[in-house]
Chain A
Amino acid sequence: EPEVTQTPSHQVTQMGQEVILRCVPISNHLYFYWYRQILGQKVEFLVSFYNNEISEKSEIFDDQFSVERPDGSNFTLKIRSTKLEDSAMYFCASRRQVLTGELFFGEGSRLTVL
């Protein structure tokens, strides 16, 4: 069964360092998303991406964040200069079309900023 895959599963980084989280969405999906879940808190929307551009972004998704789909399969989230409060689980999700509604999530990448 096709699935969304994410790497790394866990990354530890020093404050101020750049981090890239990678996602491979399901191959025939067209809409891509990043969500974040701070430990013990709810899942929060970061950004959506369609047709090689950002469709929508939340207040959390400031200038330190960027996304791209460099090669037609990977979908990456970059944090330029990590802060302690960026420590969270980051989930990638994708879906084929908007009408079905269902998002398929990856297993998440845990980011720990020291």
Chain B
Amino acid sequence: AQTVTQSQPEMSVQEAETVTLSCTYDTSENNYYLFWYKQPPSRQMILVIRQEAYKQQNATENRFSVNFQKAAKSFSLKISDSQLGDTAMYFCAFMKEGNTPLVFGKGTRLSVIA
């Protein structure tokens, strides 16, 4: 079974600074997808960024980028120029190919401080 581990329950960062959230996972699959979801106080989970395991290039979406290390099974999220609106719970998630469920980590609560 796949597992996803987020070792940082809470983090804080000053506005405009950069923060990195850690995520490791365990799988025997070769092809899979990795995601970071953001869950603000409004509750809805919003996709921040995704990475296909077969792609060596790290995914980027504006201020958000990942450091995907397939051999190490590591998938960290870097948020640059942090904004107050980035305050949320961030979940790392794993999914095998096909119609398979997402497996989530326990989440990291990020607070951006003015």
Q: Which of A55, A98, A103 contacts B102 (CB 8 A)?
A: A103
Chain A residues, Cβ within 8 Å of B91: 42-43
Closest to B107 in A: A42
Contact B43–A108 (Cβ < 8 Å):
yes
Give 18 A-B contacts (CB < 8 Å), ordered by A residue.
Answer: A31-B99, A33-B102, A42-B105, A42-B106, A43-B107, A45-B101, A45-B102, A56-B99, A56-B100, A98-B98, A101-B33, A101-B35, A102-B35, A102-B50, A103-B102, A105-B46, A107-B42, A107-B43
User: In the docked arrangement, what's the CA distance between A56 and B103, Å?
Assistant: 13
Report A's interface with B, CB cutoff 8 A.
31, 33, 35, 41-45, 48, 50, 55-56, 58, 89, 91, 98, 101-108
Known contacts A108-B43, A108-B44, A101 near B50 by CB under 8 Å: yes
User: In the docked arrangement, what's the CA distance between A103 and B44, Å?
Assistant: 12
Number of interface residues of B (CB under 8 A): 24
Answer whether residue B77 sits at the interface, using C-beta atoms and an 8 A cutoff: no
User: In the docked arrangement, what's the CA distance between A103 and B37, Å?
Assistant: 10
Chain B residues, Cβ within 8 Å of A107: 42-44
Chain A residues, Cβ within 8 Å of B104: 42-44
Chain B residues, Cβ within 8 Å of A105: 37, 44-46
Closest to B106 in A: A42
- Residues of chain B from 80 to 114 with CB closer than 8 A to chain A in the complex: 91, 95, 97-107
Chain B residues, Cβ within 8 Å of A45: 101-103
Closest to B104 in A: A43
Top 3 closest pairs, chain A to chain B, by CB: A45-B101, A105-B45, A43-B104
A45 shortest CB reach to chain B, Å = 4
A113 shortest CB reach to chain B, Å = 19
- Residues of chain B from 31 to 54 with CB closer than 8 A to chain A in the complex: 33, 35, 37, 42-47, 50, 52
